[in-house]
Structure 1
Amino acid sequence: MSKSHFKPVLALALMGTLALTACASTAGDSTSEAEAPITIGVLLPLTGPLSTLGKEMQNGYEVARTLFNEAGGVDGRQIEFQVSDAPTPEDAVSVAGTLSTDPDVTAIMGSYSSSIAIPASAVASRNQMPYWETGSVAAATTDRGLSHLYRTVISAAMPAYSNATQEFISKVAAPALESSPDELRFGLVFEDGAYGTSASDQFKALAGTEGYNLVATESYAANTNDLTSVIERLKAAKIDVLYSVPNINDAILLTQQSAALGFKPAYTLGNGTGYTSVDFIAAVGDTADGLVVADAAPLNISDSLLSADLSPTYSEFITAYEEQIGRKPLTHATLGYVGATVLFQEVLSKAETLDADGIVAAAEAVDLGPGETVASFGVKFDETGQNERAGWFFMQYQEGELVTIYPTALASGQ
């Protein structure tokens, strides 16, 4: 064979070898990508005054991730978290900027507090990163028309929020006081941040619509260390029903100082958050007994009240949480678990692609009915990204434990 023939043959052989190598490399990359973990950015206040419930929500995420990964993940791909601490709104902006521009992050999940969720979701939306909110209830979270934002919990602006409160007052609170709502003297106290302001605005609107006699309204900074003057004014107003919207540490302060000053309305209706933290229970003890707390997830409900197809079941969630965390979950852990589970099972597992467009399309297709989450509410997002099937539930401290008392169908106590 002459050299003139040898060179092309050698070239062809080399090309074939390179092609096979390239194919093998591509196949290897494909296999690697198919098996690679899916990274979710977690943005929560894990230090500072909001950290108690930030950590509680993180516990719910971790239990959801454990159960989902044990069940096989997304076609064998495991969920991993990239956890970032965002204790302030300024930190939320910075962390959201970092996570939403990280090519390894598929979506961001957070953030418990409205003061964190509002700025963080704005940054994520601007960078077209899916943002999955599992805790904030302030209306402004989803009322801004942001893209790529989905909230699994109730908004304070939803009719379900105010309707549930109106029903509870008329069907439970007023009869317990042997009165009618229009005969009662109401007081309102709230922290003046995004959460407290949004929730209190809704109660003021409800009071106006229903004709409640709102005789006292007091606001304060959530970082205050003395509520004596606020409590004294509320006490002087001779209130029958106090509607209270504190955050975490101020819920403890308000309860302890009210007891010390002898301020105990016939009925206190607390708006979630600080009233459902482990710190609150530890700090106030049996002083909390009788306190009614409204929040976005019920506690201690029966499997029989939920869908027979729900998996994991409520009992399995409780067992897994106790094994992993060492105690029963409270509302924010439950909300974190529900939000994360919906993201894993209904969005990531069903998305045609795991880029932003694929996740948005899958999120918009979520359609869970009542009883198809462990918090009993369904999930379907409206055009703003708000879950229009989210609920609002009422519990009462009885012997140091929160017991669901309304809606009646979910009640585990009276």
Structure 2
Amino acid sequence: MNKKLIRRAGAVLGAAALVATMSACSTKADGGSAEAGDVLTGAGISGDTITLGLLGDLTGPFAALTTEMNNGSILYWNEANAAGGVCGTYQVAFDTKDHGYNVQNSVSMYNQMTPNVLAYQALVGGSQTAAVLDQAEADHRLIVPSSATEHLAQSDVILTPAMLYNLDAELVLEYMLEQGTIAEGDTIGMVYLEGDYGESAHVGVQAFAERHDITLVDSLVKPTDSDMTSAVNNAVSQGATAFFIASVPAHTSSVATVLEAAGEDVAMAGSWPSYTASLMNNTGGQYLQDHFTAGSMATTFDLPAGEPIITAYEAEFGSTPETNQVPMGYGTAAMMHQILDRACELGDLTPEGVVAAKNDLGTLTSDGVMPDMDYTELGKSPTVEEFIIKLDSEAPGGIASREDGPYSNPAVTND
């Protein structure tokens, strides 16, 4: 294990000095009662092991993103466990399942996993998370969804890990407007995925279009669709000077392929789940390098906060990351650690206690890996800034920041 990273992890561990002050942590696994000074525990804790859930898409359209996000969280917790774990007592382990981006699978797997997990370090998919939300609230299970919709953000059991999708779309487009890549009065094409993710981003693109007299030519697509030729040709025929993608990475690749084959010189933009660095290996890969801009809720590996993560990741997993999800998984794990340490400090590591600790902390940090996240007001985006990226085959991991840190724009707010 990288000693520099272990020392760094210790600095990220949330509420300062909790490990030192919580040496009296006990392991009452029945959760029924605890003596004075002990920590109450329940489901998801056995002996000195806390089990967190990773429920995601390991075989469907977001498989690459899910795999690397999970690995980022595993990397963080391996380091944190080596540095003493949660409140100096508990080691974190995972229960991992694959729903294949199927809503019904997510419901059945959630029901299987929940009796044995304290919280969900990740649950991939807005629709998948929404399908279990009522039960999660009844179960008091904190969930970090790989999703950022307003509906989910309204629940106190949700730790939204990013700007809401609508604000993400607005911010990326405002950046492109500021840079002169698009202009007032332009026509923009949009490809967006059916369901909570794409439709939320669509709201943001519509808001940007209204603000800047933009004509929007949009196409609603399904995860199973493969060829974006019709959507691209429709928008180009109406004079589109840019495309915004709020869909799976394969659709981003298809849009680039169609534009390149047609000899078009059209800007492309996307939301944070819409790309991976491996798209540069496909037909249209060079077009993406030349034309694509997107948001990222976590640092890229060419910035100081990302450099040690990629070094440790390559040592741990023997491969180079290809998505922005590794630092996102790492950063959300750092935030989960703060919550668990706070719950321990408050004497209640039951599922209910973990949710209460999240609400008690309000603002969570990840040492620059992600923007600070403010959870004090339900339904609001936890941040209004993010990293702006490009695909770059010369950059570490194939993704580079266009700015020196997170970007914000006064046009994009929580109001």
**TM-score greater than 0.5 by the shorter chain:** yes
2:111 equivalent to 1:119: no
Aligned counterpart, 1:98: 112
SS class of match (2:188): strand
Aligned counterpart, 1:289: 289
2:65 equivalent to 1:53: yes
The runs of at least 4 consecutive aligned structure 1 residues that moved more than 4 Å come to: 30-35, 367-371, 408-411
2:54 equivalent to 1:42: yes
CA contact (8 A) 2:170 2:207 kept: no
Aligned counterpart, 2:320: 327
The alignment yields a C-alpha RMSD, in angstroms, of: 2.9
5 Å-filtered alignment, 1:73-152, equals: 73-74=85-86, 75-87=88-100, 88-100=102-114, 102=115, 104-133=116-145, 135-143=146-154, 146-152=155-161
Aligned counterpart, 2:194: 192
Cα deviation, residue 390, structure 1: 5.8
Aligned counterpart, 1:398: 392
CA contact (8 A) 2:150 2:379 kept: no
SS class of match (1:365): helix
- How far apart, in 1, do the equivalents of 2:269 and 2:223 lie? 18
Describe the shift of the 1:82–1:382 C-alpha distance in structure 2 as closer, same or farther (beyond 3 A).
Answer: same
Cα deviation, residue 55, structure 1: 0.9
5 Å-filtered alignment, 1:298-337, equals: 298-303=299-304, 314-325=306-317, 326-328=319-321, 330-337=323-330
Gaps of 5+ in 2: 1-33, 408-415
Cα deviation, residue 318, structure 1: 2.5
Aligned counterpart, 2:176: 169
Cα deviation, residue 233, structure 1: 1.0
CA contact (8 A) 1:190 1:245 kept: yes
- 1:317-364 residue CA offsets vs partner (Å, 9 max, x unmatched): 2221121132146311211111112102x1112212210232122212
SS class of match (1:240): strand
Describe the shift of the 1:405–1:314 C-alpha distance in structure 2 as closer, same or farther (beyond 3 A).
Answer: closer
- How far apart, in 2, do the equivalents of 1:120 and 1:97 lie? 9
SS class of match (1:253): helix
Aligned counterpart, 1:260: 261
Higher percent of residues as helix: 1
Describe the shift of the 1:397–1:41 C-alpha distance in structure 2 as closer, same or farther (beyond 3 A).
Answer: closer
2:339 equivalent to 1:347: yes
CA contact (8 A) 2:190 2:219 kept: yes
Aligned counterpart, 1:11: none
CA contact (8 A) 1:379 1:390 kept: no
Describe the shift of the 1:387–1:79 C-alpha distance in structure 2 as closer, same or farther (beyond 3 A).
Answer: farther
- Largest Rg, 1 or 2: 1
Amino acid at match of 1:90: Q
Amino acid at match of 1:199: A
2:213 equivalent to 1:212: yes
Amino acid at match of 2:108: S
Amino acid at match of 1:76: T
Amino acid at match of 1:85: D
CA contact (8 A) 1:364 1:380 kept: no
Amino acid at match of 1:171: E
CA contact (8 A) 2:243 2:268 kept: yes
2:156 equivalent to 1:154: no
SS class of match (1:395): strand
Amino acid at match of 1:341: A
Describe the shift of the 1:262–1:223 C-alpha distance in structure 2 as closer, same or farther (beyond 3 A).
Answer: farther
CA contact (8 A) 1:41 1:107 kept: yes
CA contact (8 A) 1:154 1:387 kept: yes
Describe the shift of the 1:302–1:228 C-alpha distance in structure 2 as closer, same or farther (beyond 3 A).
Answer: closer
Describe the shift of the 1:329–1:340 C-alpha distance in structure 2 as closer, same or farther (beyond 3 A).
Answer: farther
- How far apart, in 2, do the equivalents of 1:347 and 1:215 lie? 42
- How far apart, in 1, do the equivalents of 2:296 and 2:303 lie? 18
Q: Structure 2 residue aligned with 1:365, among 356, 360, 364?
A: 360
- 1:207-253 residue CA offsets vs partner (Å, 9 max, x unmatched): 11x13321522222231132222221122112222222221322222
Describe the shift of the 1:162–1:249 C-alpha distance in structure 2 as closer, same or farther (beyond 3 A).
Answer: closer
Describe the shift of the 1:217–1:259 C-alpha distance in structure 2 as closer, same or farther (beyond 3 A).
Answer: same
Amino acid at match of 1:142: A
Cα deviation, residue 387, structure 1: 5.8
- How far apart, in 2, do the equivalents of 1:293 and 1:162 lie? 9
- How far apart, in 2, do the equivalents of 1:116 and 1:41 lie? 14
Cα deviation, residue 57, structure 1: 1.1
- 1:118-164 residue CA offsets vs partner (Å, 9 max, x unmatched): 2233332232222222x202333224xx3422222221255xx3663
Tell me the matched-pair count.
357
SS class of match (2:311): helix
Cα deviation, residue 190, structure 1: 1.8
What is the identity percentage for the equivalent residue pairs of Structure 1 and Structure 2? Answer: 18
CA contact (8 A) 1:298 1:395 kept: no
Gaps of 5+ in 1: 1-25, 304-312
CA contact (8 A) 2:121 2:144 kept: yes
CA contact (8 A) 1:190 1:219 kept: yes
Amino acid at match of 1:334: P
CA contact (8 A) 2:301 2:309 kept: no
Aligned counterpart, 2:243: 242
Cα deviation, residue 410, structure 1: 5.3
- How far apart, in 2, do the equivalents of 1:122 and 1:199 lie? 23
